[in-house]
Amino acid sequence: MALTVDNLTEWINSFAQKVNDQKDYLSELDTPIGDGDHGNNMARGVKAVQESLENKKPAELTDAFKQIAMALISKVGGASGPLYGTAFLEMAKKSKDTTDLGELFAAANAGIKKRGGAQVGDKTMVDVWEPLSDQLAQGSLAQEDIDKAVNGTRGLVAKKGRASYLGDRSVGHLDPGAMSSGYLFTALIETEGIL
């Protein structure tokens, strides 16, 4: 099983579908601890990604990752744009050498951490990307791993972004970026032929 332009496109379309279906929920999660726009921002981003992939079918995996990255960077608007964009840009760079999912996701996770300055435990998307990238490197990833990582952000105190202004008051809320990242990983394991 390996990543190809076709199953990458299928994966991303599935992610886009989940973001659109859960748009209001993502914004709802973002309301008590953020600025309430995560769902709309991500929906705008994935729409741009889908348009980009439709208008110009990428020849190589690297082109596909790059197109996804640029669409997210230019269209999302909030912090998720540069963070998701950097993740896919790092995968684009890495995909020149390998299509190994573990290595691609490790590069993406390192990019997110560098861009946003967050570490594990800061109540961000890193709390999903890091453990799940490790799982992928070990060759197994199940929905329960994804749920565990996403739900794990509920008890954490936010250290980054707008949620960090709330300090202890952020405890009890799921991190919206962790949730949308969870959808990306769910879409990945649901897409036939990648894992």
One-letter amino acid at 95 equals: S
Query: Minimal distance in Å, beta carbon 114 to other proteins?
Result: 9
Q: Pick between residue 34 and residue 187 the one whose CB is nearest to other proteins.
A: 34
Q: What whole-number distance in Å separates Cα of residue 90 and Cα of residue 66?
A: 9
Query: Minimal distance in Å, beta carbon 86 to other proteins?
Result: 7
Q: Pick between residue 71 and residue 188 the one whose CB is nearest to other proteins.
A: 71
One-letter amino acid at 67 equals: Q
Q: Pick between residue 37 and residue 127 the one whose CB is nearest to other proteins.
A: 37
Residue 186: C-alpha distances to residues 40, 154, 166 (Å):
20, 19, 29
Q: What whole-number distance in Å separates Cα of residue 88 and Cα of residue 8?
A: 12
Q: What whole-number distance in Å separates Cα of residue 152 and Cα of residue 11?
A: 24
Query: Can you give the binding site for other proteins, defined by CB under 8 A?
Result: 35, 37, 41, 73-79, 81-83, 85-86, 115-116, 160-162
Q: Pick between residue 9 and residue 170 the one whose CB is nearest to other proteins.
A: 170
Q: What whole-number distance in Å separates Cα of residue 32 and Cα of residue 5?
A: 38
Query: Minimal distance in Å, beta carbon 6 to other proteins?
Result: 29
Q: Pick between residue 9 and residue 160 the one whose CB is nearest to other proteins.
A: 160
The pair phi, psi for residue 92, each rounded to 5°, is -60, -45
Query: Minimal distance in Å, beta carbon 8 to other proteins?
Result: 22
Q: Which residues have CB under 8 Å from 146's CB, separation 6+?
A: 128, 132, 182, 185, 186, 189
Query: Minimal distance in Å, beta carbon 116 to other proteins?
Result: 7
